[in-house]
């Protein structure tokens, strides 16, 4: 899959996961995702700064999905058995290099 298609899939997954995220600021998060992708649409995919932003986006996706009932119950939304894994320092501050 090409890099641009992969990023488009990531963008769509982020927006879909945001729709089920339990927060009063859900719409703000949704708009922030849109703005971030629009601001960076012309960046070169091989640039290290771009790669770092992509990895942060994947971490954000995993954080949004932690609250998705289908993901938590491993495909069975009727299952009462949920599993949550927390990460140390999940959103590190970017280097200003």
Tokens of 47: 């640039």
Average pLDDT, the chain: 80
Local structure of residue 95 (DSSP, 8 states): P
In tens, the pLDDT along 33-74 reads: 999 999 988 888 788 888 888 999 999 998 888 777 666 666
Tokens of 66: 């932690």
Backbone angles phi, psi at 87, to 5 degrees: -110, 140
pLDDT at residue 83 greater than cutoff 70: no
pLDDT score of 2: 75
Backbone angles phi, psi at 76, to 5 degrees: -115, 95
- Residue 3 exposure: Cα atoms within 13 Å on the Cβ side: 10
5 vs 92, more confident: 5
- Give me the mean pLDDT over the 27-31 stretch: 92
Tokens of 12: 């769509």
């Amino acid at each position: 899959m090409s890099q641009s298609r992969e990023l488009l899939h990531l963008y769509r997954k982020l927006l879909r996961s945001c729709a089920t995220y339990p927060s009063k600021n859900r719409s703000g998060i949704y708009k922030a995702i849109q703005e971030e992708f629009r601001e960076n649409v012309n960046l070169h995919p091989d640039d290290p700064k771009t790669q770092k932003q992509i990895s942060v986006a994947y971490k954000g996706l995993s954080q949004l999905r932690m609250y998705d009932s289908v993901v938590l119950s491993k495909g069975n939304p009727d299952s009462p058995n949920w599993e949550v894994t927390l990460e140390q320092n999940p959103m590190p501050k970017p280097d200003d290099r």
